[in-house]
Amino acid sequence: MSSVIEQQHPAGEEPGNAAEPAQAESFDMRRVLDRETHSSRAAAAGIAAVVVILFSLYGLLESAVRAIGQPPWLIDPQTAAERIVALPNGIPPLLLGVTGAVVTAVGLFFFLSAILPGRRARHLLEEPRIAVVVDDEVIASALARRARLVANVMPEQVMVVVSQRHAVVNVRPTSGVPVSENAIREAVEDELRAMAPIPMPAVRVNLATSGVIGA
């Protein structure tokens, strides 16, 4: 799948006449491209907000129950605070280890969600007037077709995996048919230069040691 986002100018206005509208338009385009190429943190933020709200409501409920002299629903806030201060006393080591692992995993999830770029499997293509966003699967398909033609093999003998920084071409040659690794690499790099994805992935070619018996 690919998305094409065109940078349009208002009717009757030359692109270079007003610097401020052009800068605002460029800023808006960058925001659109960021949304297209980066995953949203809305899900993680929503989960964190729900967890905090639930804990806050429970704490408020227990405090209200304690204020009117009723027994707590689960645990008295003061008792809970005392147990937390007394940790690890009174807690079995296995339960303490499992609880610590769960808390660490949850904290690590939210921490990584906050600091990692969260890039989607997409690349930008260089165009002077429009912004083109292409899924990595589309780029991989084009590279696989080019590698297949150069290696003279069937489609199922070529598999290409494209990430942000690398394009890995895996080829299983036909038995008895010589295949040049350099020729495949040069062809795939030429295809990438023609597409000009941003960022440009580095090409790595892997030739299988065992070939496929031809028909």
Q: Tens digits of per-residue pLDDT, 70-88?
A: 887 777 777 777 777 777 7
Task: Give the number of domains in the chain.
Answer: 2
Q: What angle do CA 121, 127, 132 make, to 5 degrees?
A: 35
7 inside domain: no
Q: Across all residues in the chain, what is the average pLDDT?
A: 77
Same domain, 134 and 185: yes
Q: What percent of the chain has pLDDT over 90?
A: 20
16-71 pLDDT, tens per residue?
Answer: 454 555 444 454 556 655 655 566 677 777 888 898 899 889 888 888 888 887 88
91-113 pLDDT, tens per residue?
Answer: 788 887 888 899 899 888 888 77
Among the candidates 73, 97, 115, a domain finishes at: 115
Whole-prediction pTM value?
0.55
Q: Could you please report the per-residue DSSP string of 144-205?
A: HHHHHHHHT--GGGEEEEE-SSEEEEEE-PBTT----HHHHHHHHHHHHHHH-EESPPEEEE
CATH classification at residue 203: 3.30.300
Q: Which domain holds residue 174?
A: 122-207
